[in-house]
Amino acid sequence: MGIIEDFLVKAIPSKAEILLLSPLIFIYVLLVAILVCYLKKYRSVKTPYTRKIFHFLIFTTAGIFQYRFGLSLVVLFGCIVSIFVLAAVLIGEGFVFYEALARETDRPYRTFFILVPLFTTALGGVLINIFFAKFSFIGYLVGGWGDAVGEPIGTRWGKHRYAVPSLMGVPAQRSLEGSAAVAVVSTAVAFAGLYLAGYSGPQAIATAVACGLGSAAVEAVSNHGLDNLTIQVAAAGIAYFSLI
């Protein structure tokens, strides 16, 4: 069986998974959406934070599902998350869930910068499960934790800023402080994931440092809107080539 056929066999949820688990996953995603909507509307939390809270919870859950239950449950989870995000996009500006995801700084392409990360997240998941399946959960964890801290840390404490390439000509900047946070948090979560997966302390820390530094470097040069793809692939790929 080829790698694509093997991927498809693992990726397609069974009827039992769809019937039994879809309602539970739907409720979970609904609760996550309600949380970020509450923070946005009633606590006036800025969109860079509500967007990344959603990002963090979704990626972390995907990593747990991948490691504990396998790819098919991640695919089911991703489909339900996509339904929520696409519904927000269809309703559009003024809808609180849309406003919790769409950065003001991405005007006039706010919807574009919701849809592109959604697509690149899915593409990254496909690629790491085809080529680095054993460590795909590391891609999710680093993508969820490492990437999630970069923007909020940069927004709050970033002093040393640099321009990054951006789609659609929307100006985009990152900061050295944000990139450093990506490296530190990516290293920490990669270590935790590898150590809990049974790798020895020295193996886990050496690989985690490589994942953290590599992911931060990739994130620093990735186009605005594409880092959900590049960080996943970088982290899972580095873990794969370090430990296989």
DSSP state at residue 14 = P
Check residue 161 and give its pLDDT: 83
Beta strands in the chain (DSSP E): 161-163, 173-175
> Whole-angstrom Cα distance, residue 235 to residue 134?
12
User: What domain count does the chain have?
Assistant: 1
Which residues does the chain have with pLDDT short of 70? 1, 155, 158
* Residue ranges making up the domain that contains 210: 3-243
Q: What's the pLDDT score for residue 1?
A: 61
pLDDT in tens, 100-158: 999 998 999 999 999 999 999 999 999 999 999 999 999 999 999 988 887 778 767 76
pTM comes to 0.92
